[in-house]
Amino acid sequence: MGILLNEDSRILVQGITGREGSFHARTGMAYGTNVVAGVTPGRGGQLFEDKVPVFNSVEEAVAETGANVSLIFVPPPFAPDAIVESADAGVPLIACITEGVPVQDMAKVARYLERKPVRLIGPNCPGMINPGARCKVGIMPANIHMPGRVGVVSRSGTLTYEAVGQLTSLGLGQSSCVGIGGDPIVGTSFAEILRLYNDDPDTDIIVFIGEIGGTMEQEAAAYIKESVTKPVCTLIVGATAPPGKRMGHAGAIITGDSARAEAKIEAMREAGAHIIPTPADIGATAQTVMQGMA
């Protein structure tokens, strides 16, 4: 039932007693997410919402609750250590929502995680959701999602919500939605999520939302051409962005021809993806493709 999350996901929230961590832990729990632990150093022994135990360390939380997913809401200077702490505690899936993590710090963390059996989503991402399992890890608004067979992957949180809103309004539910993050260095690439969706028997079609900056979209296009057997509908945003100016995300900056929207769109077209003309056409394009499949 979708990718990454399922009914067996047991969530711990790093920073659960902070403003953002507590708010999104509550909304996740209201949706049905199985939040089993929180971690805030110095707050061990407390209860969050009178039922979720708070621990001083991730290692202690995992040992006591069997948590297997970590959701990180801590300030940027401490996020790299929080990621490493979860990895060292044996948590196999980590989502770091924090924006503004220094790139140099993330480069070190990425290299460290190469030696660990762990998947990191983010940083600077909206997280992930599996509507069928009623499991939300991050900041995605639960009310716009519905269970279905469309997989969504995006660098942009806002455009993820826009895509889901359009799909749901057309009766096209989602198997899973994943926001990989908009920083120059993120833990999981587009190609890796495409592989998971392609192998997922509950996903029939993939909606892919990329943007200017870097070459992840071209790498994804190469993977689509070689390995993806399911239809992919692609939107690439940032066509009017001026070179050298960051547009929103830290990674959304044109630093060469390959970083331009035009180059990414052309790569996707050559890979056989269905090009979505504008953000307003996400749902309609997916609907047309699905009708053609039927």
Catalytic residues, by residue number, are 249
Instruction: Report pLDDT for 60.
Output: 98
145-293, what's its fold?
A: Rossmann fold (3.40.50)
Lowest mean pLDDT among 16-25, 54-63, 158-167, 236-245: 236-245
Average pLDDT in the 222-228 region? 98
Is residue 249's pLDDT more than 60? no
Instruction: Report pLDDT for 265.
Output: 94
Residues 184-204 have pLDDT tens digits of: 999 999 999 999 999 999 999
Average pLDDT in the 9-29 region? 98
Is 17 annotated as contributing to ligand binding? Answer: yes
Quote the tokens at residue 47. 């209860």
Instruction: Report pLDDT for 241.
Output: 55
Indicate the helix (H) or strand (E) that contains 71. strand 69-72
Is 20 annotated as contributing to ligand binding? Answer: yes
Q: Where are the beta strands (DSSP E) in 147-264?
A: 147-154, 174-179, 205-211, 232-237
Residue from 225, 228, 247 nearest 237 by CA: 247
Instruction: Report pLDDT for 127.
Output: 98
**Is the preceding omega at residue 123 within 30 degrees of 0, hence cis?**
yes
CATH of 11-121, one of 3.40.50.720, 3.40.47.10, 3.40.630.30, 3.90.1200.10: 3.40.50.720
> Is 145-293 the same fold as 11-121?
yes
Residue from 29, 80, 54 nearest 183 by CA: 80
HSE-up (13 A, CA, CB side) for residue 264: 26
Quote the tokens at residue 72. 């990180």
Quote the tokens at residue 193. 């999520």
Q: Name, in order, each residue with C-beta under 8 angstroms of 109's C-beta and a sequence gap of 6 or more.
A: 80, 83, 84, 120
Residue from 238, 250, 241 nearest 184 by CA: 250
Instruction: Report pLDDT for 259.
Output: 74
Instruction: Report pLDDT for 247.
Output: 53
Instruction: Report pLDDT for 293.
Output: 86
For the chain, the domains span 11-121, 145-293
Rg (CA), the chain: 19
Instruction: Give first-to-last CA distance, the chain, whole Å.
Output: 21
Is 97 annotated as contributing to ligand binding? Answer: yes
Is 43 annotated as contributing to ligand binding? Answer: no
Q: Are residues 151 and 125 in contact, defined by beta-carbon separation less than 8 angstroms?
A: no
Is 18 annotated as contributing to ligand binding? Answer: yes
Instruction: Report pLDDT for 261.
Output: 82
Please calculate the CA angle 222-126-109 and round it to the nearest 5 degrees. Answer: 70
